[in-house]
Each structure stands twice: as structure tokens, then as C-alpha cells.
Structure 1
Amino acid sequence: MLSRVGLRGVNRLIPRVVYTLRTINSSAIRRTEDVPWYLRESEKVLEKVERPPIPEIPNNAPPSVEKFLLLLSEEYGLEDIKLFDLAELDDDHPNHISNQPIRYMIVSTGKSDKHVFKAGNELKHYIKHEFKKHSNIEGLVSSTIKPVIRRRMLRRANKGPSATDNIYGRAANSWIMCRTDVDDINIHILTKERREELDLESLWINERKDDLYTKELDSTDTDYMNEVYAGKNMPDFFLQRRGFHTTAREFNITNTYQKLMDSEIGSIEESETTKLMEEFETAFKTIEPTLNDYNLKTQFYGALHLINPKITLDQVSSVIKEKYNDLSVAIEMNENERTSDMMTFMKILSDSDTEPSIKYDLLSSFAQDIYRFSGESIDIPQLIPLLFSLSSTGTNISPSIIDATIYNDFDYYNETFPQTELSGTGMRNTTSFLQNYLQLHNSMFTRPMKETIMFNYGNAGQWDRFWNEWDVSLSLLENEVQLKHWVRLLVYLAIRKDIEGINRLFNNYWDTTTSVSLPFIQSFNIHSQQLTPEEFSHLKLSLAKFVDIPGFSHTDKISQFVNSL
């Protein structure tokens, strides 16, 4: 008699062949009436069962396709495995790869709903450990939760029915779909009955050119089915499945979001934004949302608020907090998720036209809600630029914009940045808060922090405070102003295009200064070799931009400087 260990050893040696035990009653070989049935011996022999071959793999397919096919066949024992490359469909086919993000569809059949559940559960763990991905599986219903209990949990969570409760999953674990997030591969595992009923394969073949997946019809059924394909006399199932997309869970909400992004903000009507919101919510309720789905919903509502202020910031805040009430999603969050949500909400607040004082109140309430009972601390250094941006209304020129201009050749010189409205109370509160925070952590304001404060004053046209920050924070409190810092100042003023701030530069800091720092010309003559090619190029470009600004009266100073180079 073979032991379990022995069988595993055999399977390891010959992975494509499965051996099963079949009991043969020895009485069929030598049966005598003299031996009672309870004394008859039996022996067990190995019965060889061949696995069905995996489908042919396209030459250009990634190695992961073959890995999944072998896994489903050899490890999970699934049958009738089919592979569809959607790139091979006609260009005008609705499921061609150009119309959706998935390329490879794998379909397989399990022997029972328990087999389907087991395979889906194992597949999820395999993807996590093999590819370091968090796959999303629809239709996988844990057998440990009774339906009654599950419905109660959904009601308590104030959620609608999940995807597994809809018409496509009438029997639990009769059809599961895994979005692997690996090389654009989706995997479907169905019971035999559900696979025959759904006929998914017909979605991924060219228009009725291949009879492999079409069923033969009796002559008496021909007229009826012609009407069905024409949209008449259509049974409920065809009506339900006609609009079903293989990647509907992501495609529908993504498609609605893209519609919003493609709209021109000034031209979109309030009724249209309401319609898009209803469309998004309808699609969202039909899925079991993942973390990415919730984050997409946040982006959608953030954009809605900026287009239609009747979609309030309170609504945006509630949407972001939804995922913290979804236990299955909350347990998958990493330690940076709350900080990421804080940054997302702050960016939306920063772009909003809401009063700064209201922004701070909303941010405070939001932070309390998502960090309550978490045991985590807020990552303040990442949030500092956004904290300062909340003190103003409008689009700020930030240190990151200066970096992008000098080192990445982004053309912000030709952008228009209207003057912002600055909340003095908000600036003072933020500065005071950061001073206390840095003192508590034995740290100091960094130069980007100081630049952010100075630029905020310049964005609001408060040039007295702007140049005071330059004199004190960026000059007096530092050993010396490096030449690259002068270049950053010139680039900022060239982008800002405010003649008052530019005249202050040439009157008080160009070749003479009342500040503790050296004037620009003297600093350049001493340290010009410190500049990188990019910095030197933008030094000249920013000076050239000054000449084109109406009201500029220091062209002679720039000409003298350029001639001396």
C-alpha cells in the first residue's frame, strides 16, 4: 500500500501525470465461496490519469502566461483551459486591446463550486508570493460565512449588495474572475454549468467567424435567435450580459472618470456633472471595490468639486474615508496610506476656492477621523508645502515649479499665475505650528520651507514681506547666499511677472544692497563657476524675460551684465 508521502514523491517526479488509487476487489480475480466476504483481501493499484494539454501560447506572450496555464492545469487540476489573446481580434472589435486594458484572457473549468473556491483562493496567494502583487478576485465567496450573516454585515456597513450577489453569481463560487495585475492577464474559473450558460468565449472571438464556441440551432429556433441578436425577444440573461464587459469592474468607473477629465472645466454644465456622478455611483455599487477603486473615486470627486462647487469638500472628505469602513480593504492598507490620503485631501483643498480658514477646519477634522485609534503619527515633513499652500486661495508658484523649470526644462515662463489671496492668520498659524513641531524634534526650517514661505508672500503680491524673508531667513540666518539661490530667485520673478517685485530686485539687490548678503553682481563675479549649465542657461533666460515685461525700466543693467559675460 502506497503512503501519502510516496504519492507526493511520484507526483514530483512526473508533474504532468496524476496517479490515483483504485481499489480492486480480489474476489473478482479469485473468488471462492469458502472465503467469507469480510476475510477477502483487496489490493490497490495505480491508475494513470493524463492531464489535458494546455493551450498553444503565442510566441510574443510573456513567460507569466505559461506559468499561469501550467499552474491551473497541473497544480489546481482545472479542465478545458482556453487562452485568448485580445490583440488578435479585429481592430473594430469592442473587446480589442485598444478598447480596454487587458490583453490575455484565460478561461478554465472546475469540477465543483468548492473546487473553484479552492483554486481561486490558492491563485490569490500564489500571485502575492510569486509576483508581489495584490490581485483582485471577484465572485470568491468564503464558505465560512453563512449567507444570512453576510447580509447582516453588509447592512451594518451600509453597503449595497456585492458583486457576488448579482445575477452573474447566482451560485456562490460558480464563476470567479481574477484580475492578476500581471502582464495584463485576467483569469476566469467557472463550474461547467455556469461556463455553458455564460458562453464567455464568444466575447473574445471575431464576429461569428469561428464556430468553435457557437451552439448549433434547430431550424425551428433560427428565426427566434435572429430576433434575439437583433435585440427582440431577448431573454433576461442576454439583456443582462449584453452590456457586461470582461473588465467592467474597472472599465466602467474608469471610463466615467475619463469622461470627466476630458471635459473642459469652463464648458461643462452642472447637470452634466450630476449625471456623471450618478453614472459613477451606479457602476461603483456593482463591484466589490479594491483600494485602487476607492482612490479613483477620491480623484473623481476631487475633480467634481473643482468643476462644480456644489459637490462640497465635506462630500470629498466622506468619499476618502469610505475605505476605512471597508474591512476587507482596510486590512490591505500599508502604513503610508493615511499620509497619502492626507496629501490628496490637502491638494484638493489647496486647489479649491474655499476660504483658507474653512480649509484648516476641514483638514483638522479629516486628520482626526482617519488617524483616530490608528496608533500612527502624521508625517509632517511631507505635508509642509501643502500646509503653507492652504493659507492662500489660487495657484501658487512653489519651489517644485522652480525645480521643474531649471532642471527639467518645463516652460513655466509662458504660464500665467494670477495673484493669490493670502490668509495672514493661516500663514501665522502654520508657521507657529511648524516652529513648535521643529523645536520639539530638535530640527530647523530647511531652505525649501523658507522658500515656500517667501514665495507665498510673492504670490499674494506682499513684496515687503517677500524681501524681508530674503533678507532675514535666506540671508541673515545663513552663512551666505549661494549663486544658485540667486538664480532661483530670478527664475521665480520671471515666472511671476510682477513688475513691483522685479523693480525691488534691480533697485536694492542688483549691484548695491542694504541687506547683509552680497549684491547679485558681486556674488556672480566671485562664484560664477559654481553654476551648472542648466542654472547658467536659466539665469540668462530669466533676464531676457524681464525685458519683455511691460513697465520694466532696467534694460541697461541687463545689457551691461550680458556684455560682460
Structure 2
Amino acid sequence: MASKALLTKTLERSSYLAARFGLRYFSTTLRFHNKQQNDDSIPWYMRSENTSQPEQIDEPLFEDLPENLPNKVKDLLTLLVAKYGLSGVKVIDLALLPTDHPKSLDRQSEEKIVVIASGKSEKHIYKASYDLKQHIKHDWGFQCAIEGMVTNSMSAVERRRLAKRARQGPPATHNEFGINPNTWVRCELPDGVIVHMMSPERREALDLELMYDESIKFNDDSNGNPYTPYNQYLSQNEKLDQSSIFYGLRREFHTSSTTKKTKTTTTTTTTSSSSPSSPQQQSKSTTLDSVYNDFLQEHGDASADVYKARFDKEFSGNTIDDFNRKFLFYKLLHLKSPTTTSLEDVTSTLLDKYSAVNIISQSDDWNLEIVQDVIKYLELLIDTPVTSIDSSTKLNLLSDFIGKVAMFATDDIHLFAIDKFQVLLWALTTNKVCPITAAHVNSIIESKGQTLRVGGSVASIANTPAGNTTANASVATNSLDTRIIENTQGARDVRELLRSVNYDKRGKMPLWLREQMLFTYAQSRNWVYFWKEWRAITQSLQSPSDFINYFVKTLVLLVMVNDKTALKELLSTYWHRVDDGVCFISEFEKNGKQFEDNNQRLALKTALLLLDEAYPGDLIFRNAQNFASSNL
């Protein structure tokens, strides 16, 4: 009865509402009667004259697009503008740049099409870059590399570090420009497409479009070498060899090489902000240079004590240059006579500089001085003739040295941002410097293979007809000890550290560092990691000519190492394959059966013919020899 009374009361209430507001009652719906627009019963905010008209959304139009732009790129531009809301889109086709432009495809092959766009804010850029990453992953099937995209979340470790920095106060070089996250995000897409998303302020400050302007030229230094950012940390006599994958890694220093040096005034590494020296200090520096040069011309080590006493007598330690000269002199003493000057004595010359109170104000950038000294100490550990110090001990000494000098830093030190530091650090993972370097391999290829070593022998093939490369070859027993000992645990730790740093900062391992590891693995006979790096490197090559060039270099390297198993692996697995895998024969045919130059062709021919002579009767080497005789 109660429910029936409640239902009756509800129906009466509904009838009252319908009569009062002009509503019709249905079982599931309530709606208004159709009334005139000027009816006073319609609220003002529901009248048609007060309702905003929908705006017409036009499709994004792109002006001045390069010709022959791929459809994928056009769809990408529509996605960036229509869906992600980016503006100011500019597309640059690097194939249209002049051949002498530093960003032209003739000089680099990583970037082909560059897209620059602006976002409204940092959050907008972060959202657009994140959505773009997911779109490329799911629609293109490619995991793109993104730099500069920083999430808003912060780990507990980062919060503790920021709190510690806040307690210390702002650094002397504090600068807010460019430190805000998501003001510049770079996304690397397949087929050489690079997308830059920047805030309007950052885009105006950087002006990336200027870098791709057709009028830009190379910015060479005074010696004609292309400028590189890390050259600022090096002295003028330590410029990097760009043609070698071991650039920055100096040749192994030994006593006999010092007698061949000409008498030159020593050049020391100084900071540009050092205070000017007085005439008396300049005279002292000249005297120290004179002692250094005189000792450099000595052919024996009997007078090392005399020169050391003479140098210590003239040394005053009033300038940073004096300490740098002392380090160079003590290092020379150690290399020529380790018994006279120990490694600890040379290390002390670097550490004493930071305990000298009278030179504190002579440099405005002690961070730069610390970086230079770390590089010097790394070179010292590599060049030291003391064989009793193994790789593990050298790594521990380096760690202890960095820990001591880093206490004097005025700001954060980014050693891994310097490529030379990475090169030298990896070199410490072996008991000695690799005897075979990229410079050796390149010189052999340039000589058309005339100086190629097989099993410790030197093949002299000068004045030999092209069709009979190994005929009349004089063989000498000039052996080359190519075996080195790798610190397995140290190499593993350094390798993982380098991988972590480079993937975080660059998104990949640089090719020159992979090649250095490859050379190390070959000479330490670590073939498991050698072929792993080989496959990783060949997969990153983009053209058949690059693969042919790299195959020839690898073959020359393995011939010098002279490991039969590795040679057979290269000439069987990667010579000719029946499946779709990459191999020399298929890439050679794709390249029109052409080489980079005649030197490369003759070097390959020489290597294959010498292998057939070194291992007669082996079917793999005989097939390669037949190919060389008939096609090269």
C-alpha cells in the first residue's frame, strides 16, 4: 500500500511539472515543446542569437615544400600540425644543398630531411614528442631515438642531488639558458628524417635554419682542420687525427723514438684565462724549456739524474705553466728511465699544482685545467714502460686520481662528453696499446697491399704486375706481435659504462668507438665479442660501398692478426650467402662491381692471394683466390 501511494504521488508531481513548464512526460524521455525563438520562457543563454557559430577547420597548408618529398613525410607534417598543434613548420631537403656544404649528403649521410617546428610550451612539446614516438613505434614499426624529452617526474636520487646543490649555493658559471627541459626535442626517424620541436624562444635563440643555409661554409681552424667542440681541451700539438678511428690515442711511446725528435720549443697546455707572466717568469720558463730540449737530445739515460737536478733547481712553481712544464719533463724522464723517475713521481707533479696556493688566482676555469690533467694522466698510464702495472691497477690509479682532482672543481665535470677520454679509457682495458691501429690498415690499403703482413711476414710487392700480385714477392721475417691481453672484467665494466653514457646522450654507440672495440677484440682473440660488434657495425652501414670498404678493412685486419678460424668465418659466412643476409658478393654486385678506388681493389686482391699462399689446399681460401684472379 505504501508503494502504491508513493507511485500515485510521483505521477501527480510529474503532471504538475508538465503543466507548469510545458513538458511532455514519456517513460524514458523529457523534452521541450517547439516554441518560437522570441518566447520569453526560453532562457537567454539558450537562444540562437547568443550561440557562437562553429569555426570552419581548414586542412593545414604547407608552402614552399621541397619537390619529390616522400608521402610518408607529407603525412608526418599533417600529423604534426593538425593533430599535435605545432606551428611554424619548416622542411629542409639536404639533397638540394651544394656539394661543398658541410650538411650536404656528399659529406654526411645521417640526415637527409630536416623538419623544424615550434610548440606553444614545454608541456605541449613534451606531449607532442611523446605522441610522435608512440605513433612511429606502432604505425612505422620503428623505435625512434629522442633527445631532450624529459618527463616531469623526478626520482628520489635527483631530489637529493638538487637539495644538495641548493645548500651549496649557485655555481660561479650558473646560467639558465638551455637548462629548461623540453625546450628543444630532437627525434630521429627512419630514412634520415630528423624532427626538431622547439619553443619559440629557444628556436629564435638557436636559429637552426641558419645551419642549413646554402651560404654556410666550413669553419676551419688555422691549420685547416675542421673544428670540433672537444678541440678546446687540447693543446696545439695534440690535435686529433680525424682519419683514424683511434684519433686521440697516441702511438706507444718507447725510448728509441725520443732520439729521433728534432729540437723544438716545448708547448704546454695552458688556459686562456691565465694571468700574464712577468719578464722574470718568462726567463724562468725559457730556462725550463731549454733543459727539456737538451735532455730530449740525449741518447742514453745515464745523465737523467743530472738533468733532473738541473730542472728542479730552476723550477720555481710560480705559474701554472711551470707545473705543466714540470709534468712534461718528468714524464720524459719516466719514459726514458723509469728507475730514475717513477710513475708516482710524475703523478705528484700534477697533484702538486692543486696544492700551490700562489697560483689559485691564475686561472678562472679550473674545471678546464682538471679535464686537461685527466687526459694527461690517461696518456701517462698508457705510455708508461713499466710492464708490472696491469690494466686493473691502471684503472684503479685513474679512479683515485680523478677523485683527488675533482675536489677542486668549481662545477660539474663531464669527462664522457670528451671523445678522447672515451678512447683513452677503453685503451686502459688491455695490457698494452694495440699494435694494429686503423692508421696501419689505412696505410696498407693506400699502398695497394704492398706492406701487408701475414703470419709475421712482410710481403714486398713493389713493381709487380697487376695480374701477378704475389709473384716475385720478397718475404722478410720481420715479426709483429699482435697479441694483447685483455682485462676481461675491466673491459666489461668500461664497455657497459660507455654504452650507458652514449645511449643516454647520443642514442647510440658512435661508430669510431665500436671500431676501436673491434680492433681490441681481434688482437686479444676475443672472437665472440668481435663478431657481435662486426654484425652491429655492418647493420648500421647504409650503402653497398660502405660495406665493401668496411669488409676490406676487416679482411686486412684479420690477415695481420692471422687467425685461420676468424679468416674462414669471414670468407665463408660473410663472403657469399644464399639467403637474404648481407655479404660481400651481393653488396659488390649492388655497387656495380665497383670499388672506392684502385688502391682498395688491389689491397683486397693482395690479401686474398696471400691467404691462398699461406694456407694452400684450403677450399675457402682457394675460392676467394679464384674470385680475385678472375674479377679483380
- TM-score of the two chains, using structure 1 as the length reference: 0.49
Whose helix fraction is larger, Structure 1's or Structure 2's? 1
- TM-score of the two chains, using structure 2 as the length reference: 0.44
